[in-house]
Amino acid sequence: MNEMRKKQKKIIREQLDDTLNRFSTIASVNRPMNGWIRAIRDALGMNMRQFADRLGVSKSRIPRIEQDEITGSLTLKTMNRVADKLDCVFVYGFVPRTSLDDTVRKQASIISQKRMNRLMHTMNLEAQGLSSKNAKKAFNNMVEEIIDSPSLLWEKDK
């Protein structure tokens, strides 16, 4: 991968990290025990019949919708529709636990460690072990090479 593409990938990852970072505060918000739909419907003072009328479904469908939200089986399309009828905006996204850059670096480190273990084993068998300083340098170089070669990053270890 040429140097320009490597930089572009890193910039794209950093920009997406910045965008996703805005969601980090809401990632720690716990869903109400009975789900968001029920909590908002109750807060608005809307009974099941009234909500069913707004959604254009039977009253018996409302408990199912609310339960499906809790179990995670409600479709995004339905979540959007329900949110709209509750005068809300349905927000959907992924929030990295750390950052995308950290995830890439961590994965590259895992791969590098496996490779280093194999390399050190072979070198020790041949009585050509590396000093800890050189081993660390080789490891760090390997991490950077893997980061620069995204096609290697997520390959299943063989």
Q: What is the CATH number of the domain that holds 59?
A: 1.10.260
Task: Count how many domains the chain has.
Answer: 2
Q: Are residues 129 and 109 in the same domain?
A: yes
Angle between helices 132-147 and 100-125 (to 10 degrees): 130
Q: Is residue 73 part of a domain?
A: yes
CA distance 95 to 21: 7
Q: Which domain holds residue 118?
A: 3-19+96-153
Examine the domain organization and report whether 75 and 44 are in the same domain. yes
34 and 69 housed in the same domain: yes
Whether residues 41 and 74 fall in one domain: yes
Has residue 109 been placed in a domain?
yes
In the block, which residue shows the tokens 């273990």? Answer: 117
Examine residue 14 and state whether it is found in any structural domain, yes or no.
yes
Residue 32 maps to a domain: yes
User: Does 90 map to a domain?
Assistant: no
Q: What is the pLDDT of residue 75?
A: 96
Share of the chain above pLDDT 90, in %: 48
Average pLDDT over residues 71-75: 96
* Residue 66 identity (one-letter amino acid): E
pLDDT score of 1 more than 80: no
Burial class (CB in 10 A: 0-12, 13-18, 19+), 90: middle
Half-sphere exposure of 95 (CA within 13 A, CB side): 11
Question: Is the same domain home to 131 and 108?
Answer: yes
pLDDT tens figures, 89-145: 999 888 888 899 899 999 999 988 888 887 776 655 555 666 677 778 888 888 988
What is the rounded distance in angstroms from the CA atom of residue 9 to the CA atom of residue 150?
Answer: 9
Quick one: 112 and 134 in the same domain?
yes
Whole-number CA gyration radius for the chain: 25
pLDDT score at 124: 59
Q: Are residues 53 and 35 in the same domain?
A: yes
Which residues touch 12 (CB under 8 Å, ≥6 apart)? none
- Which of helix, strand or coil describes residue 123? helix
State how far Cα 140 lies from the chain centre.
25
- 32 and 70 in a single domain? The answer is yes
- The pLDDT value recorded for residue 79 is 97
Per-residue DSSP letter, 45: T
Does 45 reside within a domain?
A: yes
Helices vs strands, H then E, count in the chain? 9, 0
